[in-house]
């Protein structure tokens, strides 16, 4: 049933595609997120923007 819903969404999107402005916006957000991940992996992310290990919320098991 879920596949049918996605098929209907895809057909609706094919009939009425998003504008070029919206596509550019989504691509810019994705590029920004990838850039943040790359900066963090390279170690270039500033220390003030990192999450401290002991301060994270932990869910009980």
The confidence score (pLDDT) of residue 49 equals 83
**Residue 31: closest CA among 42, 39, 43:** 39
Mean pLDDT, residues 20-37: 96
Give residue-wise pLDDT tens across range 1-26.
678 999 999 999 999 999 999 999 99
Q: Is the pLDDT of residue 60 over 80?
A: no
Give residue-wise pLDDT tens across range 41-52.
998 988 888 777
The confidence score (pLDDT) of residue 50 equals 79
The confidence score (pLDDT) of residue 55 equals 61
């Amino acid at each position: 049933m879920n596949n049918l819903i996605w098929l209907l969404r895809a057909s609706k999107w094919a009939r009425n595609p998003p504008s070029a402005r919206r596509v550019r916006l989504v691509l810019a957000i994705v590029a920004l997120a990838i850039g943040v991940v790359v900066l963090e992996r390279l170690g270039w992310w500033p220390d003030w923007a990192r999450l401290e290990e002991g301060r994270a919320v932990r869910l009980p098991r």
